[in-house]
Structure formats: structure tokens, C-alpha cells
Amino acid sequence: MNRTIDRLLSLPLLAAAIACVIHAYPLLATGAVSLAHPLADFASARLTGFLVAALALVLGALLFLAGLLPGRPAHQAGTPLFGRAAELQDQGRPGLRRFFQVLPAVAVLALLADQPWRGSGEVANEPKGGQDLASAPPTPITPPPAAPVPAPAPPEQAAKTPPPATPAPASPPPVVPASPPAEPPKTALAPPAAPPGTSLPPEPAPPPQVASPPETVAPPPPAPPPLPTRSDGHRDAVVWLAVSRDGREVMSASTDRMIKLWDIDGKRLIRNLGEHKDMARTALFMPDGKSALTAGDDGEIVLRNLADGAVLHVFSAGQNGGARNLAISPDGKVAVSGHDTGAVIAWDLEKGGVLHVLPGHDWSVSAVAVSPDGTKALSGSIDGELKLWDMASGKLLRSWYGHEQGTYGAVFTADGHHAVTGSGDHTIKLWDLDTFKEIRRFEGHSGTVYEIALSPDGKRLASVSLDGTARIWNMDTGDQIAEFDPGTGPIYAVAFAADGTLLTGGYDRTIRDWPAAGGDGVVLFAGAPE
């Protein structure tokens, strides 16, 4: 019977707890506990009180349901009602029981008393204009437009066309002081006439005019002198130079597709040797001194007569793509070309056919060289991979990644056991081809090393770079001997003249001559007018 009464007593406790929760919910939904509201402290106390009361009511209901609040001692059958054993019986929790019996009534009275405060709290927390701040759309914040970032060119395209020089910033126009705005015309007012017998005080003297000091404007820097031009010069960048064995002539190749032959001493154009269907890349004198071999992006390797430019033979790479670079064996019997598709082709110049097709590179081949004895060839691609080939069999002897970026120049030393390579990682490296280890590094360029050349005696190394400089290095120590900076953009072509001076060609379309020990160069052959 006692358990049944306890279960019934739990019902009003649960009902009162539900009523407290329902009453507290609007306080949460309307944001009554916002600290920005003047009644925030009171509203918080109300909310806390009802939630605590609800928890207490639920706790009391659970205690009643579990029978933990008996109204009087519960005895099992046979338990003594008197004596010491009776004194040990559980007498229940009468105080706690009475608290939970009264608690529902107190909660109901609190709910009834809180009705006026609830109404005022909801009105006070309503946003002005009747809009719910929680549901109001946020004000969009428009970020400032970002500067457009040019997409980088793919490696193959970057290697195909020499990047244009970054134009020097234009000189700012001279600062001319702004003329002060013209003042509006003043209307002369006659002084008021004095009444008879009355004298006016004299007018105050105008304040003295203080002349403003003249502004000093710095004169603009002098404009660089215009480059000389000649009508028979190259119309675009000079990308290759080669000097004849007797040192009297220089041959040039350009992105204008033309091959030109120049007289160094006479400083004149001897003739246009010919034109490729696409960018001309390489032009080499044949060992016989009577012909030249040229290559271009049209995939053709052309044997030309120096005397009149007549075409003697055309070697076509076909589907192997444009010829990026070209090298000839010292005996003039074999030529090696590197192509867009990654193929390296060895040509039999005597028979006019293909000796080997070596499809070993995964990227465009941008550098090739033939050893002094003609038995080996070195190739480099735009991913920095280097390969050493046996010319007789076409067998790959060794492959290694010598640079972090593309290889754009390669030469063998006179002993045939060493080679030098330049690269897009701004370095030049000397390699031991017996151990395939780096022996020396030439550092100083801040841009891609586009081409290199060895002096006839093998003691000096020349390099040109997209950083706009040409440099001469000591091969034995790696020290820099001289640096030349014409300030006209990237330099792509380099060759040693017979007298030891350095010839360069680049973006400005000119061919320059630089002193071997350093100093100012001279324009040997100017470019065509733009």
C-alpha cells in the first residue's frame, strides 16, 4: 500500500517539472539572458531558478518511484516490533519526504507569480522593427579584388621560346607644381560716405604679401641612349652564335627564323645563309670550313653552303618534333640533335641518313654535346635529367638528374672525361664522367643559365643567363673573372672570339663584343629597327 501511495505522489512532481521546463523554454528562445539587456541579471536568475526546480522535481519523482522515501518503517514478516531490534529498523526520511511533497505546490505558485515578468521580458528583448536578429541575413562582406596572377607557362613551352625581358620601369614624369586656383574677381566697394561734420578713421593698411619660396623640382634621370640599329640586322632575339675556326666570321641564329653570316673585322653582314620555317635554334660551322649545319623548331637540320647559302641536304626529324639543339663530331661525320619529344637523334652526315634514334628522355631535350673523340654524346632535358650515350651502338651508358631544373647548355672538356652543364636552377656544374660525380659548381647567376661556352684553351668558361648578364669563370677554381651587364634584358647566345673576347647575343637583337678581362662592351652588329 505504501509503494502505491509513493507512485501516486511522483505524478505531481513530474507534472510540476514539465511545467517548469515549458515555462523556461521561452526565456531561452527569446534571448532573455543576453548580457546586453538591462534586465539580464534578473532574467538569468529566473531561468536558473526554474531549471533547478525542474531538476529537483524530477529527482523527487524518481525517489518516490524507487521507494526511497517511505512514510513509515517497513517490516518484513516476523520482524520484532519492540526491543533493541525494533530500534534498528529504518525509520525513513520524513523531512525529505515532506520537502518533496510540498515542492510541487511551491513550483506552481512560482509559475503563477512569474507570468507578468515573462511578458515584459519578451517585449524588452524583441529587436527593433520586429525582425528576429537570429534569422536576419548577415551583411555580406565583399573582399577586395585580388590582383590577377598570371598562369605559369608549362615547362615545354617555357623552354621553347626564350622568355621576354622584363621591361625596365618607365621614368616618372617630372613633378610640376600645380598652379594655385585663380581667385574670383573681387568687387570694389566704395567706402561709405561720412555724414557732414563726421570724419571716418583711416582704413588699415593691407598686410604685406609674403612671397612663397619657389619649389625645387628634381630633373628626370637621363633616358638611356637608344640602341643603334641597322637595316640588315636581326628582327628578333639572337639565340645562337658560332665563330669560325679562323676567327674571322660569326654565324647567328634568331627567333626571326634567319641564319646570318657576319664579317667580324669588317663589321658587316656577309649574307643571309637561309631561313627556317620556324624559329632558328642552332647554327654550326662544319669542320671543312665550307659549309654550315643549322637547326630549328621546324624539325629540319639543314646543311648549307657558306659561299652562297645554297641548301646541300635536309635532314627531317619528322614526328620527333623541333630540333632544340645541335652538336657535330670533330671529324664532321656525325651530328646529334635533341628534340621536342625527348628523342635524341644521331645523323650520318656522310650518307645523309639516320644513325640512331634514342628515345630516352621524358621531356624535351634542350642541350646536346659530342665528346672530342666523337665516341660519346651527352644530352640534357628540361626536367634536369642528363644522359650519356655511346655513339657507335646508341646504347645508354648512364642517366642521372644533375639539376633541379632544365639543362640548357652542355660542353665536353678537351680530355673527354668531364663535361659542364648550365641549368634553370641558376647553377653551372662540372661533372666527372667516369664517376658521374659533381666536381665543381659555378654560382652567381640569378636566372636560368641559358648557354655556356669553353675558351679554345679550355681555361675559361663563359655563361649567359636570363638574368641579363654574361660571365667568365676560371675553370680550375670556379671563381668569377668578369661580369657583363648591358642592361638590355636576357642574354641567350655566347661564343669566344679568336682574340679571347666574348661575343653575346640576346633579347635586344644585337651582337656585342666584351673585353676578356671585364669592362664595357661594344655593339658589334646592331639589330634591325623595330
Q: What pLDDT does residue 440 have?
A: 97
CATH of domain 238-525: 2.130.10.10
Which of the 8 DSSP states describes residue 362?
Answer: S
What strands lie across the sheet with 268-275, from one edge to the other?
238-243, 249-254, 258-263, 268-275
Q: Which residues contact 9 (CB under 8 A, 6 or more apart)?
A: 64, 100, 101
Which of the 8 DSSP states describes residue 527?
Answer: B
Using CB atoms within 10 Å of the CB of residue 471, give its burial: 0 to 12 exposed, 13 to 18 middle, 19+ buried.
buried
Q: What pLDDT does residue 226 have?
A: 81
| CA dist., res. 472 & res. 72, Å (int) | 112
Which of the 8 DSSP states describes residue 276?
Answer: -
Q: What pLDDT does residue 215 have?
A: 67
Q: What pLDDT does residue 4 have?
A: 75
Q: What pLDDT does residue 199 have?
A: 42
Note whether 423 and 408 are within 8 A (CB). Answer: yes
Using CB atoms within 10 Å of the CB of residue 50, give its burial: 0 to 12 exposed, 13 to 18 middle, 19+ buried.
buried
pTM: 0.60
Q: What pLDDT does residue 15 have?
A: 87
| CA dist., res. 259 & res. 83, Å (int) | 131
Q: What pLDDT does residue 447 have?
A: 96
Q: Which residues contact 362 (CB under 8 A, 6 or more apart)?
A: 342, 381, 383, 385
| CA dist., res. 68 & res. 102, Å (int) | 17
Structure confidence by residue, pLDDT tens digits, 257-283: 999 999 999 999 999 999 999 999 999
User: DSSP 3-state helix, strand, coil percentages of the chain (rounded to 5)?
Assistant: 20, 30, 50
- Which cell goes with 356? 640512331
Q: What pLDDT does residue 65 have?
A: 77
Name the residue ranges covered by the structural domains of the chain: 2-74+91-127, 238-525
Q: Name the pairing type of β-strands 280-285 and 268-275.
A: unpaired
Q: Which residues contact 461 (CB under 8 A, 6 or more apart)?
A: 420, 428, 442, 452, 453, 454, 455, 472, 473, 474, 475
Structure confidence by residue, pLDDT tens digits, 430-467: 999 999 999 999 999 999 999 999 999 999 999 999 99
Question: Which of 427, 415, 488 shows the shortest CA–CA distance to 454?
Answer: 415
| CA dist., res. 257 & res. 461, Å (int) | 28
Question: Which of 483, 457, 487 shows the shortest CA–CA distance to 470?
Answer: 483
Indicate the SS3 state at residue 335. strand
Could you list the pLDDT tens digit for every one of the 530 residues in the chain? 566 777 777 888 888 889 888 877 766 655 444 444 444 556 677 778 878 888 888 888 887 777 776 654 444 444 443 333 433 344 456 677 778 778 888 888 887 877 654 444 433 333 333 333 333 333 333 333 333 333 333 333 444 444 444 344 444 334 333 333 333 334 333 344 444 443 434 445 555 555 566 666 777 767 667 888 999 999 999 999 999 999 999 999 999 999 999 999 999 999 999 999 999 999 999 999 999 999 999 999 999 999 999 999 999 999 999 999 999 999 999 999 999 999 999 999 999 999 999 988 999 999 999 999 999 999 999 999 999 999 999 999 999 999 999 999 999 999 999 999 999 999 999 999 999 999 999 999 999 999 999 999 999 999 999 999 999 999 999 999 999 999 999 999 999 999 999 999 999 999 999 999 889 999 999 999 98
